[in-house]
Structure 1
Amino acid sequence: MTTYILDTETTGLVEPHMTEAAYSIIEVNNGKIEVTQAPRSKRFNPLKPISLGSMATSHICDEDVAQEPPHTEFRLPSSVQYLVGHNIDFDMAVLKNAGVTHTPKLICTKAMSSYLLPTLESHKLVSLLYYFHRQVAREQAKHAHAAIYDIYFTQLVLGSLIELANSQGHNITDVESLYQFSEMARIPTHLSFGKYKGQAIKELAATSDGAGYLKWLLTQDSIDPYLAQACQQALDA
């Protein structure tokens, strides 16, 4: 059983192809992170143009990766059972666009931070780094969006989130309990869009108009599966 912290840099948000991937291997023992392999990174030719927005974010340009191996050569070992990342679903989509078929269990630090710190102004990775590790952020945040640095930042934030979760009565001791907590944290308690934006899903389900809206959401093909779970649970309660 192997656990990766993974980060990718890409061509953009639309059908993203990988320009860089970085990972480290960790273990979670008694609620503490142990790094068993230091971060490694590799650049890839995405086989499509990099958007200006992505260039401005990652500082990787088309000419920087023109001679690198194609992104379709990226492989995720079958031994990897867990992938950890900040908005890891996006990275998993990038891997699938490269042809990766192996799908580990996904652990999302963004979902965890939103659940544990719901009133925090921002749940971006660097914002969380400033929140938990101010001195590291002051010294190294300028390297954000270089994939190998984002691995290190995610590792630090993950450790702090585990400590915070356990201080609030959760019981994260190993990677499977971390995964279970991440899955629970993904289920939203409030709507983040639409006519009922900001309202509690549980409270909406108790009114006829609100329940009707939740039922309508459940008929939409594009509904997020975790939102669908939250709506169904509220309607069944």
Structure 2
Amino acid sequence: MTTPAMIIDFEATDVSKEAEATQLGWRNVSFDDQGDLVAEVVYYRDDNQQSNVRFCKPDRAISYGAMAVSHIMPSDVEHALSHKLVVPQYLPVGEAYIIGHNIDYDIQVAANASVDVSQYKRICTQALARRLLPELDSHSLGALTYAINPDLARQYCRNAHNAGWDVTFTLWLLEHLCELGDITSMEQLYLASEEARIPKIMPIGNDHRGKLIADMAKDPKDRGFLQWVVKTIKDKPYLVEACRQALITSINPNVSGMERQS
């Protein structure tokens, strides 16, 4: 049985770890026998470019900051079903590839709606874009849409921050990234995302932020900070893995971190 794959996007009450959905967008995707990405057709939309979308009612208040982004107000969701009913209804049960731009946020919103996300294999288009398109000045979804297809962006990006449209923009980006990376299967896409999520530049520390992690492992003054990250940081697994790999490679340059781990 083929593992399901779905692009998702949420509009939500706020940007905290407790954020709850006000709108869910989704679209099923797969790779065909020729290795091309295929998306389900959404027939019932007036403009079939837009992906599936549903409003839902959160238990938390919608922040003014969220209203300014999504333009979803309490009156828009007053008569909608609870997010704990809507979100589990449409997201897969069990193992699935879940794709999104900054996917960890969307997965957290799904978990806050009582979805069991433990078997989801997360694929982050933002991480992939940063790795495959490093020359761009911004890796926001809107900026990337303009970069890869300015004509479509000019026509449709005014709809940004509607969850259904953001899923469509993510689909267009994903198609481009798969072409750039010569990606022809969902598992290959997942592994590419996992690799891309491991940072090359240190994102924390007043004296270390902005440094190449590989170079830090070679400097006795910086190596201790990498060791501290590995031992201490609990909520940034990809940063910890980057530091661990760099430390291993600095000891034996002929063995990569992933090879040493296995």
> Please, what TM-score do these two structures have when normalized by structure 1?
0.94
Residue pair 1:4, 1:80 contacting (<8 A) in 2 also? no
Q: How far 1:32 moved relative to its partner?
A: 2.1
User: Which deviates more, 93-102 or 127-136?
Assistant: 93-102
1:131 is the counterpart of 2:133: no
The answer to whether 1:87 aligns with 2:91 is no
Describe the SS at the equivalent of 2:130.
helix
- Equivalent residue letter for 2:37: I
Cα distance change on mapping 1:68 and 1:80 into 2, 3 Å: farther
1:15-40: CA deviation from partner (whole Å, max 9, x where unpaired): 11000001011112344211124321
Counterpart for residue 167 of structure 2: 151
* Runs (4+) off by over 4 Å: none
Highest CA radius of gyration, 1 or 2?
Answer: 2
Aligned to 1:219: 231
Which residue pairs with 1:113 in the alignment? Answer: 129
More strand by share: 1
Matched residue, 1:8: 10
Matched, 1:28 2:43: no
1:25·1:35 contact (CA, 8 Å) conserved in 2? yes
Mean alpha-carbon deviation: is it higher for 62-71 or for 126-135?
A: 62-71
2:215 to 164, 184, 203: 203
| Equivalent residue number for residue 190 of structure 2 | 179
Q: Match for 2:27: what amino acid?
A: S
Output the CA distance in 1 between the equivalents of 2:72 and 2:178: 32
AA partner of residue 91 (structure 1) = D
Give the aligned length. Answer: 232
Q: Post-superposition shift, 1:192?
A: 2.2
Contact 1:191 1:199 in 2 (8 A): yes
- 1:59 is the counterpart of 2:68: no
Helix, strand or coil for the counterpart of 2:181? helix
| CA distance, structure 2, for counterparts of residue 209 and residue 119 of structure 1 | 30
User: Is 1:31–1:162's contact at 8 Å kept on the other side of the alignment?
Assistant: no
Q: Secondary structure in 2 aligned to 1:219?
A: helix
- Letter paired with 1:7: D
Corresponding residue SS for 2:223: helix
- In 1, distance between residues paired with 2:4 and 2:211? 39
Q: Deviations over 1:105-164 (max 9, x none)?
A: 111000001111223210000100000010011111110000110111000011111111
Q: Distance in 2 between matches of 1:3 and 1:136?
A: 25
CA contact (8 A) 1:5 1:83 kept: yes
2:84 to 72, 88, 91: 72
The match for 1:169 is none
Query: Is there any run of 5+ residues in structure 2 with no aligned partner, and where?
Result: 43-50, 250-262
The answer on 1:17 being equivalent to 2:20 is yes
